[in-house]
Amino acid sequence: MESLAAPVFEIVKWLGDPIIRRISYIKNLEKNFQNLNVKANVLYSRRDDIKREISRPGSKGTATNECENWLKEVERLQDKVNVIEKEYHEEKKCLMGWCPDVSLRLKLGKRVVESTNSIIDLLEKSASWVGGVVVDAPTKIAEAVPAQPIEGNTSTGRTLQKILGCIKDIKKQKIGIWGMGGVGKTTVMKSLNNSAEITQLFEIVIWVTVSKDWSLRNVQNVIAKRLSLNFGSDESNDNMATRIYQELERQKFILLLDDMWEKIELDNVGIPRINLENGSKIVLTTRRLQVCKSMDTDVEIRVDILSEEEAWKLFQNKVGDVVENPSIQSLAKDVVKECHGLPLAIIVVGGSLRKEEDVHVWKNVLDELRSPTICEIEDMEEQVFKRLKFSFDRLNNDNTKNCFLYGALYPEDHEIPIDELFEYWRGEGFINGANKGHTIVKDLIGASLFESAETDSVKMHDVIRDLALRITSPTGEGCRFLVRAGVRISEPPREKGWENVERISLMHNELKSLPQSPYCLKLLTLLLQGNGTLTKIPASFFDHMASLRVLDLSYTSIESLPESICNLLSLRALFLNSCRNLKTLTSQVGALKELDVLAIGDGTKIDCLPIEIEELTKLRLLHVSCHELKVRISRLSLLEDLRIKVDPYDGRWDESFANCMTEEICSLRELTHLGFYYFPNVECLEQFVHGSLSWKEKHIKTFQIVVGSTKAGYGVCKVDRGLVLIGEVTTHANAIVEVLSRADALNLIGHGGVRDLLEMGVENLNELKKCGIERCKEMVTVMDWNGLQEETTALPNLELLDLSSLPNLRSLWEGSMPPGTLSSLTELNLSGCEKLRKLFSWRRINLQQLPNLQELYVWYCSELEDIIVNEEEKVDQLQYDDDDDDALPLLLPKLRFLNLYDLPQLGSICKGVSLAFPALEVIYLERCPNIKRLPVGIKKAPNLWKIRGEREWWEALEWENDAIKQQLQPFFHAFYS
């Protein structure tokens, strides 16, 4: 019997399990539904974190395929959860709950449990990702650098051609370029880096500025960044070398090493041996011929000084037409002779004399250039400093001179953020606002003492920096600087070296300690930022720094400020940005009554500012991040620049607190900049717009304002006047309209009601230069002109349009677009627009209204079939011959860069029309399997120099004739798998 009972029991149990589960679905519906909501909120938060990581400002990567699929699964699951939630609430209301539908509850309960399990699976999947959610975007063959144009029939142009000839010579693998400082070696190297010929010869061009204070790690870091390799700070140099070697070994590369001062062991860096098989090259510049020889260069090319004719022409261009004045011309030619053909000296001296019409000034300049030096100097390079110093001496006033000398506090070849300079200069008392700062920067660039670098930054030529350090050296006159910036020292200079010094820069090193109590009563500036290994400041460190004006401790690991900081009674600027271990700010800061600038930005973990901040009544600039601000901001009545970056998940910044803070800010009458300020709703913004006298009288010139639910996540790019609207914000509210009409950048994120941008008012969009629209589910077109009464030009100043994750977007424009609309647009980005089938319709939109579009990026649009389509012509295929291209229309005359990625349905780039692309240079085309033909040839795209895609795709392309393929073959570069 026992043998029979066991299987019977198992059968009953097997039959009973489904019944028990069904009863559980009905009985536990409420509890399971609550659990579903909890898990769903966790999943949505995880999704928002991932999206923010993908779209964070400055990111150059793209989401992994696994991540993209995961995000789509989350969106699909969210739709199911929304339906379940709606049915759940409807079911509870049925007959007031007296007579629930058991069948419906059973089905609903089952779906609740299944959806909860799906959420758990998705959370587990995201937690298991090892490689992260972002992969690097395809690496460019060369990263262009700012460079002066070089004319062919000049000594510099001939030098460039000589170098190119050596690069093309397979027997010359290492090429050395040498010559004295300021002669133009770097100018030639920059032109080489930017040369189209180089990008056709190599798969990657790597630029490294080595400089005098180079280190193996710094060189490796630059190369690793260029190769998109990620290294931890604790990774050994040997491991880095191995990874670099493995990456470069399979590429044909050219390595440009600028400004070398001594031999570098390339094996230690990770550079593979250069040989005939791999075809790679190394080009280096140096002031010393011996460095070329120590690097075993195959050829050494000297960059010579300019001929008299070339020197005179360069001087004319720099000084202007004034040199044609008969009373000045002979003096000008003598001045040029005194520059001895050195381009840098000619540029600097000429810049200082630009449009100078006073003959006496010219005579005085010539006398100064001809005067004997203090000591006998035989080296020509030493003579150069005398000529460069002349331009320094001619600067308008001491303030401008001090601003110039400040640049020498930064490491060699460092890009100097202009905003940071302004804050320092302000703390020093050199300027009283950004307008004056911009004027001085413009003057210094005009005098060729500063160089324009990347956006919002400047650089100093290494020879000019050497000049500044000579002027401020202990044996010279004027300011006395102690500069050990970016040289990787771990121990500070001895205390004795701090005495009688006015400015000290130890930034970007590896300091582990500081002197106990240095005696430096004359010290005005102390820059210690970027020493991540510095954890402690000695208790008596500030005891003898009574004159200190500027103190920067940003990007250090200090845990507290010593009480001796109260001795800094002259301090005007204190910087504590990204001090990741600093959790409290000592109340002693209340003693710093002269403080003008206080910056506690991102990364510093201070939760609450001390109440003593209210005593800093001279503050004009206050930057804080993620703080519980109990300080009465209104007491800081002189504030001009206020930036408050709010953590979107910080519950302390609720509506009530925001209203109080807004009331405080409204009382600030001197406010000219309000940055990253968060209004949780439109009502709070209305309070600011109507209550702030600074806003109403338009004293506020720049702002970054965020309105709405920050739980959706947001990022604000650096703009002058930015507005971010998140969630269900009423876009027609008066306050929104008023801010928008003044904004030059708009981010619209997660809005559920806006169907097209013009709903916000055509007249309110005229100032916009940048516009980003993201996760707006109801948006079906960007601009709908149908039904509008007037044909008013829209977005005439817009330069960048970024459209992301718009699931119902079906077109970019509807109706007839008025002339002038989008006439300034240079970049258009589309990503995740799943229902978009065609991009440009020639019938409905005249593409000549996009005359300045230069870059087009289209990613992850799963239903997109065509980029440009002529619906009138009913032509299925294009004729891709180049025989009659003179008559081809120019619809996108300035398009330079076309990037198409993961477009599985894309069948054509141009359908029903044959177009010319006169400016097109680069085509990136990946994961677009249905593109069988390219719409370009040599005549249609005469400037094309690179096509990048999968090798299998390239080999499968169809061609009208073999000649076109042969013409384009040299431009093709395969993606590496």
Give the model confidence (pLDDT) of 208-256 as tens digits. Answer: 999 877 889 889 999 998 888 877 777 888 989 998 998 898 888 999 9
Confidence check: pLDDT of 878 > 60:
no
Which residues, other chains included, contact 170 with Cβ-Cβ below 8 Å and sequence gap of 6+? 276, 279
Q: In the numeric block, which tokens belong to residue 438?
A: 């911009």
Phi/psi at 10 (5° precision): -65, -40
| Longest distance between any two alpha carbons in the chain, whole Å | 129
What value does the mean pLDDT of the chain take? 82
Sheet containing strand 416-417, strands side by side: 416-417, 457-459, 451-452
Strands 827-831 and 481-483: unpaired
Band the pLDDT of 355: cuts 50, 70, 90: confident
Query: Which is higher by pLDDT, 663 or 15?
Result: 663
Average pLDDT value for residue range 517-538: 94
Read off the pLDDT band of 818 (50, 70, 90): confident
Average pLDDT over residues 415-426: 92
- Burial label, 108 (beta-carbon count in 10 A; 0-12, 13-18, 19+): buried
Q: Supply the DSSP symbol for 273.
A: P
Residue 875's pLDDT is 40
Band of the pLDDT at 10, cuts 50, 70, 90?
very low
Q: Is the pLDDT at 12 greater than 50, yes or no?
A: no
362-419 pLDDT per residue, tens: 888 887 777 643 333 334 455 567 666 767 887 878 899 999 999 999 998 889 999 9
pLDDT of residue 652: 67
pLDDT at 529 over 90: yes
In sequence order, what are the beta bridge partners of 350?
none
At 479 the pLDDT is 63
Instruction: Show the tokens assigned to 474.
Output: 């202990």
More confident residue, 849 or 920: 920
Q: How many CA atoms lie within 13 A of 952 on its CB side?
A: 7
What percent of the chain shows pLDDT beyond 70? 85
Please name the residue that has the structure tokens 């992969």.
135
CA torsion sign for 958, 963, 967, 973 is: positive
Mean pLDDT of 450-460: 81
In sequence order, which residues have a C-beta less than 8 Å from that of residue 873 and are 6 or more positions away? 912, 913
Q: Which residues contact 605 (CB under 8 A, 6 or more apart)?
A: 580, 581, 582, 583
| Sequence-ordered list of residues with C-beta below 8 angstroms from that of 764, at least 6 positions apart, any chain | 737, 740, 741
Name the residue with tokens 């720049």: 702
Closest Cα partner for 740 from 697, 782, 793, 685?
A: 685
Per residue, what are the HEC states of 190-216? HHHHHCHHHHHHCCEEEEEECCCCCCH
Cβ contacts of 65 within 8 Å, gap of 6 or more: none
pLDDT, mean of residues 818-831: 90
856/837 Cα distance (integer angstroms): 16
Residue-wise pLDDT for 753-805, tens only, equals 888 898 898 889 989 999 999 989 889 999 888 877 667 788 999 999 999 99
Report the Cα–Cα distance between both ends of the chain, in Å, rounded: 66
DSSP 476: S
Handedness of CA 217, 219, 222, 225 (dihedral sign): negative
Q: What is the mean pLDDT of residues 333-341?
A: 83
Q: What average pLDDT does this structure show over 253-278? A: 89
Q: List the alpha helices (DSSP H) in 398-529.
A: 398-406, 418-428, 434-446, 462-471
Q: Which pLDDT belongs to residue 98?
A: 42
Task: State residue 302's pLDDT score.
Answer: 85
Non-local CB neighbours of 155 within 8 Å, separated by 6+ positions:
304, 306, 307, 310
Residue 675's region, left for phi above 0, alpha for psi from -120 to 50, else beta, is: beta
Tell how far CA 823 is from the center of its chain: 25
Nearest to 809 by CA among 754, 743, 879, 854: 754
pLDDT of residue 55: 61
pLDDT score recorded for residue 91: 61
Distance of CA 522 to the CA centre of its chain: 38
The predicted structure's pLDDT at residue 285: 92
Residue 453 pLDDT greater than 80, yes or no: no
Is the pLDDT at 907 greater than 50, yes or no? yes
pLDDT of the residue at 976: 52
Q: Of the ranges 445-459, 582-596, 748-762, 944-958, which one carries the lowest mean pLDDT score?
A: 445-459
843 pLDDT more than 60: no
Q: What's the pLDDT score for residue 816?
A: 78
- pLDDT of res. 383: 58
**pLDDT at residue 877 greater than cutoff 70:** no
- The yes-or-no verdict on residue 141 having pLDDT over 90 is no
Q: Give yes or no for residue 341 having a pLDDT over 70.
A: yes
* pLDDT (mean) for 14-35: 69
Please give the structure tokens belonging to residue 633: 């901001």
Distances from the Cα of 542 to the Cαs of 251, 545, 567, 570, 574, in angstroms? 53, 6, 7, 12, 13
- Torsion sign across C-alpha atoms 259, 261, 263, 269: negative
What's the confidence (pLDDT) of residue 827? 93
**Selection from 465-474, 521-530, 652-661, 705-714 with the highest mean pLDDT:** 521-530
DSSP secondary structure of 76-139: HHHHHHHHHHHHHHHHHHGGGGTS--HHHHHHHHHHHHHHHHHHHHHHHHHHT-SS-SEEEPPP
